[in-house]
Structure 1
């Protein structure tokens, strides 16, 4: 699974695309001219990844800030509009890129051979990036009334396991399904509490263990998460694909599809 981090959200896909984004950004003249410091940071990161042949994750937050976001929108729109004339058209043209100067071209050629097929999917990737930069979400947000989300929910699809440090307990986690409680807390906040099943080593008892708790505000299609004790703002996460009895959101970097707990569980 490859993932791209932009601000508070992570875009994940089974297809490789991180190398493609590195290559197109580092060969974009507008990026180098408009944001030379950010260009240098990304080039250093690219060379590190190249050394270890690891192109699975890219945290664009290392170069992306609120005050340069408009530049990145312009840069990615330029890359998108010129994607069919990119240097990454075939191995021979790509090898002529200045980012490969003084590199082992035989090694680079092997990497390019593996990565070139990913250009077939670049339209989807760049559409997602541009959408996220403009609307601060990879998703089409659901504008939901707060009251519609107050309930007990259960996940029916998860991309990962939400967990605590079980090494400090006598518990062993069971599966990746979680239960979510969204409830009124006070005049300013709601509670967002996640519980997961675990088994006690000694008693073999099945428990529901709290694995996440934040105070939240619900606004403009986002959960705004705050520390459950200090109320310090932490991050915001999208609410999308809301269909009255189901909705999707992110917790940490995992995606969850939730269904109201009082309904028969759907199969996904």
Structure 2
């Protein structure tokens, strides 16, 4: 049976208490005019704005578009990153040929490609997906390459002793060995795709949470603006939490490997 201390650590009550304290200080500072900004609402007004967008049903469709686009982009980024990262890590000539290209391309900010995507593909979901995949593929690609490079050489020797072919060694030795590195990259890639999709909705495609944020700003509704900002924060937190739980469920091996992932 869990003690109160164990539950406190598990639920991070101290962290939650700090958030509530910040909200309380914010409320009092604005209400008592200690802090004065023209468009800084009180937390109660933000809560009212949140109730408004939940009540009229607009939040559901906006969230649906953002999550759908970020999900598609994440799946593509993971597939490309794991496949290409494994190939680069295993085949030396491929690493030599792609090294300079990877270093150059990953230094390009995804935001700078949004006008290009808009010109080529127009204000569509495809534009959002392209720039999000471009941004999200690098964490998983680099994590996979690093994972392949750190495989114990003795494992490859075991594969040779057992007369395993390249395909069998990849499936039975390489992939299981780099799962922790892949999961690290997945967590980074998914959150990166979500962030880039929201930015793309502001700049490229008038849909989703990003566009709602932009419209709230243009209509001078700070209560709605902060409400959508809170929604994006909660969305990122819940996605990260789901990924952490997923790692604990599917991760094979010891507790140490799960901590690495």
TM-score higher than 0.5: no
Identify, as 1 or 2, the structure richer in strand: 1
Structure showing greater radius of gyration is: 2
Higher relative contact order (CA closer than 8 Å, sequence separation 6+):
2
